Amino acid sequence: MPELPEVETIATSLGPQLVGRRIKAIEKLDWEKMVEAPDLASFQQLLPGRTVLAVYRRAKWLLCTLDEAWTLALHLRMTGSVSVNDATFLPDKHTHLVLSLDNGQNFFFRDIRKFGKVKLLDEIGLTKLNASFGPEPLGPTFNPAYLVTQLVRRRGTLKPLLLNQKLVAGLGNIYVDEALWLAEIHPLRLANSLVEAEITQLYTAICAVLRQAIAQKGTTLRDYRYGNGQMGENQKQLAVYQQTGKPCSRCETLIERLVVAQRATHLCPTCQKAPNGKISPLPATL
């Protein structure tokens, strides 16, 4: 699933192609369940004719600000991708939404597994979407003091808490693993077992791995693309995520994989000391 850096990269690459363009028509919508709001008939009636004013990201949602206070919100889920293409480029069977633009190009939403979602939100709907997420990790309200207040009062396991979108928006499995490795903190630590210095170190690590990934245009492991099909480069920089059996770049201990909250989790057993002794790696799925 694309996480914050990937969706940020997509938004940045789409902005110049979409801003100022008017959506002429919905040329294709063959997977009606992808439309979450409003009802399908209203979506088909309200979207054509709208002009794109801005393209940005909130958490893992790609948002297109439209005129008359509407917002087109897209979530790519596992295998979704979006692109702007010339009229000669025909959609394949996995392209489930096609919007024609006033310059003759088309906007494609392609999704092999059909998990992606689309919403057309009014101002109330956008406010509710924003309220469902915690602060942006690269924004001004996410800082060491905030993270301290959130973690010291919680007894839960650290990694699932960091994946909680109400605590911090946009983090997913890749960047939580990378941040915990960089901060030298084991993912099974209880949140309230961390001292303030460790939480500050974790905050710094979260920001660092996200900024690096954005600079590298995201992490392409399988389906993620941005722009018109370009792959990200951050997969070349990963320290632990999907690096099982490879030497840690810091201490050369072999990277291990275990299951935390049903998620594959990657770590260095030397750099990231387990809270209760060594924990044997378990088979895991991504």
Tens of pLDDT, residues 56-86: 999 999 999 999 999 999 999 989 999 999 9
Among the ranges given (101-110, 132-141, 176-185, 220-229), the one the predictor scored with the smallest mean pLDDT: 220-229
pLDDT for res 223: 85
Of the residues 50, 58, 60, 225, which is catalytic?
60
pTM of the model: 0.93
Q: How confident is the model at residue 281 (pLDDT cuts 50, 70, 90)?
A: very low
| Mean pLDDT on 206-221 | 97
The reply to whether 144-267 shares the fold of 4-131 is no
Q: For residue 155, indicate whether it is catalytic.
A: no
What DSSP string describes 214-273? HHTT---SSS--BTTTBPPSGGGG-SSTT-TTSBPTTT-PBPEEEEETTEEEEE-TTTS-
User: Quick one: pLDDT band at residue 222, thresholds 50, 70, 90?
Assistant: confident
Residue 285: the pLDDT is 39
The class level of CATH for 144-267 reads mainly alpha
Q: Looking at the predicted structure, is the pLDDT value of residue 279 above 90?
A: no
- CA-closest candidate to residue 147, choices 202, 90, 218: 202
| 165 has pLDDT over 90 | yes
pLDDT bracket for residue 12 (50, 70, 90): very high
CATH tag, 4-131: 3.20.190.10
Question: Nearest-5° angle of CA 170, CA 174, CA 180?
Answer: 95
Is residue 103 pLDDT above 50, yes or no? yes
pLDDT band at 162 (very low <50, low <70, confident <90, very high): very high
φ/ψ of 250, rounded to 5, equals -95, -40
Catalytic one among 2, 137, 187, 269? 2
Mean pLDDT along residues 210-236: 94
Which residue in the list 58, 159, 257, 263 is annotated as catalytic?
263
Q: Give the amino acid at 49.
A: G
pLDDT (0 to 100) of residue 276: 75
Q: In the chain, pLDDT over 70 holds for what percent of residues?
A: 97
Task: Give me the residue spans of the domains in the chain.
Answer: 4-131, 144-267
Per-residue pLDDT band at 234 (split at 50, 70, 90): very high
User: What pLDDT, on the 0 to 100 scale, is given for residue 278?
Assistant: 46
166 is known as an active-site residue: no
Catalytic hit among 3, 6, 178, 256: 3
